Chain A
Amino acid sequence: MKSLYKSAAILAVLVVVALGLLSTGVHVNAAAEGRVTGTIKLDGTAPHMRPIDMSKDPTCAKQHPTPARLENVVVGPSGGLANVVVYISQGLPASAAAVVPSKPIVWDQKGCMYQPHVAGMDVGQQLQVVNSDPTTHNIHPLPQMGGGNIGWNKSQPQGSPPFKTSWKSEEVAIPVKCNIHPWMHGYMVVVKGPYGVSDSSGSFTLDNVPPGTYTLTAWHETYGTQTQKVTVAAGKPATVSFTFKAK
């Protein structure tokens, strides 16, 4: 009798350990995909961003009791530079480069400003353009001529359904304007593989990076590009910082 209980106890422990190993096995797989995080800073005084006079369209002006400002350089309270797109420019294996996230990128027109001002997206990733304003907008991305992406120019009257599209080719970066509201300006940065866009504290994250050594590029609309090499190991997030110099 005593040996039966002993076997059952050992079996139970084995089952628990096996289950535990199995569940940690999932975590182990996740830790095998790396990530890159970091901060981007602006060294020096940020240029003065002018207030935008939206008087030509009162439906826009009404939404900004204090005027909105240009967004060419957006710097957070601790010097973090926003709207920098970080992506892998070299070394990414073809299989990872071909991954297209299923989550669509939403490009909204709200308060007669583009939200986000800068969007990163993958080749082939769905882009949804939404008009949340009580006025007509016109979206006009201007990709390079002969570069593989074809520009378009579409108006969205208020209340019209979101319009869905995607880009065929990498391009850093496609300027986007609104014909009707000349101050509206933004960028769509089309890359392959993982990417991240810095927020107002300057922090960014690239997820689903397979382990390896890569060249990372950071692009900003005013300050241009910088590159750095990074090595991503399984289970260990890599950290990278970039510092751009104010002119």
Chain B
Amino acid sequence: MGKILAVTIILIAILSAVPIVMHTWVAPADVSVHGHLIDEQMAETMAEAGIAFLAGQILLGLFIWKFSDVKPGARIKNFPGGAMGLVIGAFLLVGTEVLALGVFGVKAWSEVYFQPPAANAMPIQVQAGQFAFYFRYPGPDGKFGPIHPELINEGTQNLFGLDQDHDPASKDDIVTAEMAIPVNHEVHLLMHTKDLGHSFYVPALRVQQDFVPGLDVTLHFTATKVGKYEIVCTQLCGLGHYNMKAYLDVMSQGDFDSWLKQQAANQ
């Protein structure tokens, strides 16, 4: 039965690797400027982790095969190099591997978090709340009017709590249920939540960031391909969490300008 176990372990390992190698289930195609760094990091990790996984399972299987149900007279042997060899091997191999991944991974992370947004990045505000995302564009004056939480009224769809009668900067603000952005134009996303924790995840854009009640969080990114993508919530926020999403429309600059005009008319 030891030999059957050995074969099973190795078979499971190989079968598990097949969908990965065959790219059966993959992340949506990358449409961002910084995403390739993440994808490269992922590919390297997959290669190293994959080798470690297969090597470990195969070695386990091999030793079970060889040393189970042995003849009664066999003598106990020590693994060549003993424990010290294995410990040193672990430190060298794993240590260098993890440090390399850690060090090279800093670049991908810093592209997202440690670079300031470009000077001409388009500011868009996103508000998360049970259970939808709403967006606000500053309008021709380029300014976002103040938010008055006590004025938020879903019944009249005053979602951001704007006082358009008294705050001049709010008068031209454009509130939408979909986020449209022009392609190849950096966006500076200003994130806040109305009520509790949510998260902003667009797999195709290679961004994920939690909203934190009480904090204003920001993100910046550039989309490189026209298309319709989904923004989904990834932090459990209540019963409607599964259905909390908004569409991200990446459009040509011309289409975006028309879209914004149309939205302004609908305010």
Residues of A within 8 A of B (CB): 50-57, 70, 72, 136, 138, 155, 175, 177, 179-180, 182-183, 185, 221-222
Shortest Cβ distance from residue A48 to the other chain B in the assembled complex, whole angstroms: 9
Query: Do A55 and B154 have beta carbons less than 8 Å apart?
Result: no
Task: Select which of B154, B239, B243 is within 8 A of A177 by beta carbon.
Answer: B154
B240 within 8 A of A: yes
B266 within 8 A of A: yes
What CA separation (Å) do A179 and B237 show in the bound complex? 11
Query: Do A51 and B157 have beta carbons less than 8 Å apart?
Result: no
What CA separation (Å) do A179 and B243 show in the bound complex? 10
What CA separation (Å) do A154 and B254 show in the bound complex? 44
What CA separation (Å) do A155 and B267 show in the bound complex? 31
Q: How many chain B residues touch A (Cβ–Cβ < 8 Å)?
A: 23
Q: A57-B243, A179-B240, A182-B129 are in contact. List 5 more A-B contacts (CB 8 A).
A: A56-B243, A138-B239, A138-B240, A175-B155, A185-B155
Chain B interface mostly: loop
B130 contacts across to A, CB distance below 8 A: 179, 182
Query: Do B178 and A182 have beta carbons less than 8 Å apart?
Result: no
B201 within 8 A of A: no
B120 within 8 A of A: no
B239 contacts across to A, CB distance below 8 A: 138, 155, 179-180
What CA separation (Å) do A55 and B135 show in the bound complex? 13
Shortest Cβ distance from residue A243 to the other chain B in the assembled complex, whole angstroms: 22
Chain A interface mostly: loop
Shortest Cβ distance from residue A49 to the other chain B in the assembled complex, whole angstroms: 10
B240 contacts across to A, CB distance below 8 A: 138, 179-180
Query: Do B178 and A55 have beta carbons less than 8 Å apart?
Result: yes
A179 contacts across to B, CB distance below 8 A: 130-131, 238-240
28 residue pairs from A and B, CB less than 8 Å apart: A50-B157, A51-B266, A52-B157, A53-B176, A53-B178, A54-B177, A56-B177, A56-B244, A56-B245, A56-B246, A70-B157, A136-B243, A138-B239, A138-B240, A155-B239, A177-B154, A177-B155, A179-B131, A179-B238, A179-B239, A179-B240, A180-B131, A180-B240, A182-B130, A182-B131, A182-B132, A183-B154, A222-B156
Closest B residue by C-beta to A70: B157
B229 within 8 A of A: no
- CB within 8 Å of A: which B238-266 residues: 238-240, 243-247, 266
What CA separation (Å) do A221 and B155 show in the bound complex? 10
Report which residue of B129, B130, B157, B266 has the largest number of chain A beta carbons within 10 angstroms of its beta carbon: B157
Query: Do A53 and B177 have beta carbons less than 8 Å apart?
Result: yes
B133 contacts across to A, CB distance below 8 A: 56
Query: Do B157 and A183 have beta carbons less than 8 Å apart?
Result: yes
Closest B residue by C-beta to A178: B240
B238 contacts across to A, CB distance below 8 A: 179
Shortest Cβ distance from residue A189 to the other chain B in the assembled complex, whole angstroms: 14
- CB within 8 Å of A: which B171-216 residues: 176-178
A55 contacts across to B, CB distance below 8 A: 177-178, 246-247
Shortest Cβ distance from residue A143 to the other chain B in the assembled complex, whole angstroms: 15
Shortest Cβ distance from residue B232 to the other chain A in the assembled complex, whole angstroms: 10
Query: Do B155 and A72 have beta carbons less than 8 Å apart?
Result: yes
Closest A residue by C-beta to B247: A55
What CA separation (Å) do A179 and B130 show in the bound complex? 7
A222 contacts across to B, CB distance below 8 A: 156
Closest B residue by C-beta to A153: B239
Report which residue of B130, B238, B239, B267 has the largest number of chain A beta carbons within 10 angstroms of its beta carbon: B239
Shortest Cβ distance from residue B250 to the other chain A in the assembled complex, whole angstroms: 15
B267 contacts across to A, CB distance below 8 A: 50
Closest A residue by C-beta to B243: A180
